[in-house]
């Protein structure tokens, strides 16, 4: 890795960036879907949605944990010239990059309600809740290691542990404006 000035974003904030939009768009899509009787009926659609929510939450919360843990263990110390990106900036950039996916999520959640009312909306809400749980797990990892995990912003196109990511950087727990787990520092 080169040692020039690089912009770094918090890993937990990157993971958390999609959680709230997916949660709210999924719930809103499920609520609209519950108004439509659909082919299977509301009861079957919402029961299938509840099962999909639980499965999506579990799968999303544990997916790629081994890769996150590997990068966390092999993380190098951030340099003095590295620039730490604010939490708000990271959230805004990630959500702007994913805005078309969020729009597609909502359209699919509402559109699928004509077949299975509320199911796909609850599935996407489960993915959002799973991302939030993953951010909490990352926060526990950061607290246990007594350092915060960061990654270069130019590697973010594929997500926090995408193919472009070569590793994480660390700073002390007082760095940045977000606590371990990516929540806003008060």
Sheet strands (E) in the chain = 7-10, 76-77, 83-84, 148-152, 169-171
C-alpha distances in angstroms, 113 versus 1, 41, 117, 124? 48, 10, 4, 13
Written as six digits, the tokens of 33 are: 């879907």
Q: The whole model's pTM is what?
A: 0.91
Distance, CA of 179 to CA of 144 (rounded, Å): 13
Which residues of the chain, if any, have pLDDT below 50? 1
Distance, CA of 17 to CA of 93 (rounded, Å): 9
Convert the pLDDT of each residue in 144-178 to its tens digit. 999 999 999 998 888 889 898 999 999 988 887 88
CA 159 to centroid of chain Cα atoms: 9
User: What is the bridge-based pairing of β-strands 7-10 and 83-84?
Assistant: parallel
Res 1: pLDDT: 46
């Amino acid at each position: 890795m080169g040692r020039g000035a690089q912009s770094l974003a918090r890993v937990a904030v990157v993971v958390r960036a999609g959680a709230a939009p997916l949660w709210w768009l999924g719930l809103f899509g499920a609520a609209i879907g519950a108004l439509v009787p659909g082919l299977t009926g509301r009861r079957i659609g919402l029961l299938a949605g509840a099962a999909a929510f639980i499965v999506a939450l579990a799968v999303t919360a544990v997916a790629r944990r081994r890769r996150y843990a590997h990068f966390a263990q092999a993380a190098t110390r951030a340099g003095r010239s590295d620039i730490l990106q604010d939490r708000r900036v990271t959230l805004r950039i990630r959500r702007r990059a994913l805005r078309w996916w969020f729009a597609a999520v909502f359209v699919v959640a509402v559109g699928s309600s004509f077949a299975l009312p509320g199911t796909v909306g609850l599935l996407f809400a489960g993915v959002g809740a799973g991302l939030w749980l993953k951010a909490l797990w990352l926060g526990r990892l950061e607290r246990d290691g007594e350092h915060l995990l960061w990654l270069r912003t130019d590697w973010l196109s594929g997500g926090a542990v995408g193919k472009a990511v070569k590793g994480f950087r660390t700073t002390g727990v007082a760095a940045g404006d977000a606590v371990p787990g990516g929540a806003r520092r008060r």
